[in-house]
Amino acid sequence: MTIAVFEEEAADREQFQRAFREAVIQVVPEPLRQETAGAAANAEVLSVFVKSEVSKEVLKTFPKLRFIATRSTGYDHIDLAECAARGVVVSNVPSYGENSVAEHAFALILALSRKIFQSYERTERFRFNRDGLQGFDLLGKTLGVVGTGRIGRFAVKIGCAFGMHVLAYDAKPNAALAEEFGFSYVGTLDALLAASDVITIHAPYLPSTHHLINMDNIKKVKKGAILVNTARGALVDTAALVWALDQGILQGAGLDVLEEEGALYEEIELLSRGFPKDQDIATILRNHILIARDDVIITPHNAFNTTEALQRIVDTTIENIQAFLAGAPVNAVPTPGA
């Protein structure tokens, strides 16, 4: 049996080989795409990550394929209808880094509230004065958590540990969670924006949450608040964000995710290939403006990237493949229309 592992972290290879001693483990460092698929056409099992594009065309390359273990929670990079038509089962990793992402949100919050980057840049130049480096305490401030699912609840916990007054907004409030952790839900997003000194977003990206923070409601944000987004870039309208920073409505932003971040990462390639229509060039330009600003900290979609979270991903992926091979798949993602 051949198991092909695409977009592989160097350290994972050994773990796959140890778990599947009888199998041929074929490792391809690049994402699975039309151009790379031929490298492992014999595979019965594929493991991929989020940059792979498991389209109908790509799936045609694998006549023996029976199972795909994506090492991510999301599976919008896989054509599930085509998988179902071909009898290919798909499993995901439902959870691996809830605390990791919430901890990263707080890394961004603290970096902004204590001007860590400005301080660091100054001492790097052997300057030790404190002009312009005054920050603010988190103790006693109001933290607004948007989305109290797996990650959001860790953000609530960490906020409580800092002595913050925690408010939350969720499309489906969880009264038992609020009672257990000691925070309150507000009835509308506007109410949360108006009351919070620090806003952290942990809602999913869906058609209904596109530009959840937008030109209309960003005006309601409490003056001088900071906004942190570790969820998905398009939850925040980039134009509204730049405007609110310019107006001083927001005093800063911490972003692990950007709208059109994929296009930003591949800018040099895009220049030679041409911009696909659905990528918004204005948003890419605004991302450049955000990157250049001193009051904005951007990290490269790195919130999940801890040793522990990555190990949880590999462990669950191996368990998913073992369960499938034993005839009892776990973490199988629903077939469209089922």
Instruction: Give the Cα separation of 246 and 255 in Å (integer).
Output: 17
Find the shortest distance in angstroms from Cβ 106 to ligand NAD. 13
Q: Of 261, 263, 257, whose CA–CA distance to 303 is shortest?
A: 257
Instruction: Give the Cα separation of 288 and 81 in Å (integer).
Output: 37
Instruction: Give the Cα separation of 101 and 284 in Å (integer).
Output: 24
Pick from 231, 234, 240, 321: which binds ligand NAD (CB under 6 A)? 231
Strand partners, 33: none
Cβ proximity to ligand NAD: between 82 and 190 the closer is 190
Sign of CA dihedral 208, 214, 219, 222: positive
Candidates 84-92, 132-140, 201-209, 282-290 — which segment interacts with ligand NAD by CB under 6 A? 201-209
Angle between helices 281-292 and 238-247 (to 10 degrees): 40
Catalytic site positions: 232, 261, 301
Give the CA dihedral 114, 288, 190, 103, nearest 10 degrees.
-40
Residue nearest to ligand NAD (CB): 149
List binders of ligand NAD among 2-21 (CB under 6 A): none
Is 150 a binding residue for ligand NAD by CB under 6 A? The answer is yes
Cβ proximity to ligand NAD: between 232 and 286 the closer is 232
List binders of ligand NAD among 93-112 (CB under 6 A): 97, 101
Number of H helices, E strands in the chain: 14, 12
Q: Are 13 and 5 in contact (CB under 8 A)?
A: yes
Is 200 a binding residue for ligand NAD by CB under 6 A? The answer is no
Candidates 75-83, 133-141, 144-152, 281-289 — which segment interacts with ligand NAD by CB under 6 A? 144-152
Pick from 16, 106, 169, 183: which binds ligand NAD (CB under 6 A)? 169
Pick from 4, 303, 313, 314: which binds ligand NAD (CB under 6 A)? 303
Contact footprint for ligand NAD (CB under 6 A): 97, 101, 146-152, 169-172, 202-205, 209, 212, 230-232, 256-257, 301, 303-304
